[in-house]
Amino acid sequence: SQKIEQNSEALNIQEGKTATLTCNYTNYSPAYLQWYRQDPGRGPVFLLLIRENEKEKRKERLKVTFDTTLKQSLFHITASQPADSATYLCAPSGYSTLTFGKGTMLLVSP
């Protein structure tokens, strides 16, 4: 069955550093992979989508890579800020649906 792994332990970093979150998946080959941010008590919010033929995608301070050979996506936040503290979910896709990882909590301290 499809399996998605994200670091279950929270990632603690200092303001201004680059945060790197990992998403590994097994037993399928998604055509797309999406990343979402979720704040406590709120619904997830879309951040970035990357296609299988794209190695890297950027949006402002965010960067996503997608390695279909390693079956891994990396999510980077550069110049991190306390406001970036949240849980980040990766979601490799099927044709119509997404399968979400359990998420990694990021804590950025001033």
Site of interaction with another protein (CB under 8 A): 31-32, 34, 41-46, 49, 51, 89, 93-103
Residue 72 CA to residue 87 CA, distance in Å, equals: 18
- Sign of the torsion formed by the C-alpha atoms of 30, 34, 8 and 59: positive
Residues in CB range of 84: below 8 A, 6 or more apart = 19, 77, 106, 108
Query: In this structure, are residues 101 and 93 in contact, taking their beta carbons and an 8 Å threshold?
Result: no
Please report how close the Cβ of residue 5 comes to another protein at its closest, in angstroms.
11
* Minimum CB–partner distance for residue 58 and another protein (Å): 16
Q: Which is nearer to another protein, 16 or 46 (CB)?
A: 46
The nearer residue to another protein, 85 or 87, going by C-beta atoms, is 87
Question: Is 45 or 79 the residue whose CB approaches another protein more closely?
Answer: 45
